[in-house]
Each structure stands twice: as structure tokens, then as C-alpha cells.
Structure 1
């Protein structure tokens, strides 16, 4: 299945996964950009950076086979294989970034919005009864097994 065919499939888990890839980029960039504040925003930017690496392993399963990680980390990441669990983790990450508004309105709001959008896509996939379908481009559906 090509990338265009994946998007035409109307499976919200594909949309969620690609929104998650956008979240990786945004959380990493905005985490670094906001780390230079000299108040509590530093904490939220560090959390945003950590979230980008967690999302990286959640959305690109190929990395679990390539990168040397601990068994505990692998089992933590494997908890997020269903649409509802992915919606939950994205919602939690989004809420944390929304809380950064309490101190000061920064560009972390963009990360909060896109994280919320990914949570909505995964929740819609769960509500519609669509099974999680990983993008072949990101290492899903047998690509990781082909490497071994």
C-alpha cells in the first residue's frame, strides 16, 4: 500500500500515526525553542522534549528493533498498541502542554493542539471500531520483521 493509498483508506489510525510524526517534530523543535525561558516553562519544554522521544518509539516501531533499549522501556512502549491507549497517551501529553499556559502563553500551545489532534484521530479510530493499522512507511505491517 502506498502512502497515498494509506491516506485514502479513511482509517483514522493512519491519520493519527502521521499526526504523531508531526508531533515528534513539533515537540522536539518547540521543546528546544522554549528551554531558554527562565521560569517554569523550562519544565514544560523538557517534558515536551521527552514526549518527542516517547512518541518516536510509539509511532515508529522499527526503532524498537534497531535501537538498544531496556526490556522495561520496550514493555512500556508496547502498552500503546491499541487506538484507545494511544489516544490516552496523546491526551495526557496534550493536557500537560496546555498546563503551560498557566504561567505564560508560549509556542508550546502549538504542540498541545497537535497532540490533541492526534488523540482525537486515535479516539475516532477506536470509536469507529477500526483496528490499528500501522503505516508501512513508518515500519508497520511486517517491515520490522523483514529486517531480521
Structure 2
């Protein structure tokens, strides 16, 4: 199945996964950009955005668990997010952290919060429609993981 076929499948978990990839990019870039402010609390939220990007990276790109040396505790934590509902909850929590950054004033971290909540909505829609969780083959679906092992 090609990437275009995946998007045509109308499976909201695919949309959530690709929105999550956009969230990785935004959290990392905006987290780095906001570290260079002189507001201590905003710096904390920037570090949390960078940490969120790394967690999402390991969740959305499953073959990274095979090639990166991680602890069994971290691996077990990441493997908890295999259903649409768990991913929706995780994205909602990460988005809430970034929305809380508004307490320091408006910043670009709001963009990360918006993208993360959109990803949560896609996963929640997949859960509501009772669609099976489908991992994009481009991002390391089952076929890629089996090739690495």
C-alpha cells in the first residue's frame, strides 16, 4: 500500500499518525526556539515540548525501539500506546501541557498545542468509529519492523 492509498483508506489512525509526525517537528523546533527566551517558566515548557517530541517519535516510528538502545522500562511505557484510545489520551495530555504554556503569555508553543490536539481528535475519531489501529508502512509498519529483525 502506497502513502496515497493509506490516505485514501479513510482510517483516522493514519491521519493521526501523520499529524503526530507534524507534531514531532513542531514540538522540537518550537521547543528549541523558546529555550532562548528570558522567561524561566517558558523555558520549562520548551524543554517539555522537546521531551514530548522525543516520546512521540518513539511512539509513531516503532522501528526506532529496535535500533535505539533504550531501557526495558521505557520500551514498556512506549508499548502501552498501541490503541487509538491510548494515543488519543496521550496526545490530549501532551497538548494540555502546551496549552498550559499560555500562563507565561502567548508564544509559538500554541502551534504545537493545536497540532497535538488535532492528532488526539483523529485518534479519538478512529476509536469512535471502531477502526482498527493501522500503522503507516512509511513510518515503520509491521513489514519494516520484520525486515529489521
CA shift for structure 1 position 142: 2.4
Task: Provide structure 1 residue ranges, at least 5 long, that are not aligned to the other structure.
Answer: none
TM-score, structure 2 length as denominator?
0.98
Matched position secondary structure for 1:130 = coil
In the alignment, what sits opposite 1:98?
99
In the alignment, what sits opposite 2:123?
122
Matched position secondary structure for 1:137 = coil
In the alignment, what sits opposite 2:4?
4
CA shift for structure 1 position 146: 1.3
Q: CA RMSD in A?
A: 0.6
Measured in 2, the distance between the counterparts of 1:140 and 1:26 equals 23
Measured in 2, the distance between the counterparts of 1:19 and 1:62 equals 18
Deviations 1:114-142 (A, max 9, x none): 00000000000000000100000000122
CA shift for structure 1 position 81: 0.4
The total of aligned residue pairs comes to 148
In the alignment, what sits opposite 2:55?
54
Instruction: Describe how 1:14-25 pairs up with structure 2 within 5 A.
Output: 14-25=14-25
Measured in 2, the distance between the counterparts of 1:141 and 1:121 equals 21
Measured in 1, the distance between the counterparts of 2:57 and 2:79 equals 13
CA shift for structure 1 position 10: 0.1
Measured in 1, the distance between the counterparts of 2:79 and 2:125 equals 21
Measured in 1, the distance between the counterparts of 2:27 and 2:6 equals 25
In the alignment, what sits opposite 1:87?
88
Measured in 1, the distance between the counterparts of 2:47 and 2:38 equals 13
Task: Provide structure 2 residue ranges, at least 5 long, that are not aligned to the other structure.
Answer: none
Matched, 1:135 2:115: no
TM-score, structure 1 length as denominator?
0.98
* Contact 1:133–1:141, Cα closer than 8 Å, also in 2: no
Deviation above 4 Å: which 4+ runs of structure 1? none
Moved more, 2-11 or 96-105: 96-105
Matched, 1:73 2:91: no
Matched position secondary structure for 2:135 = coil
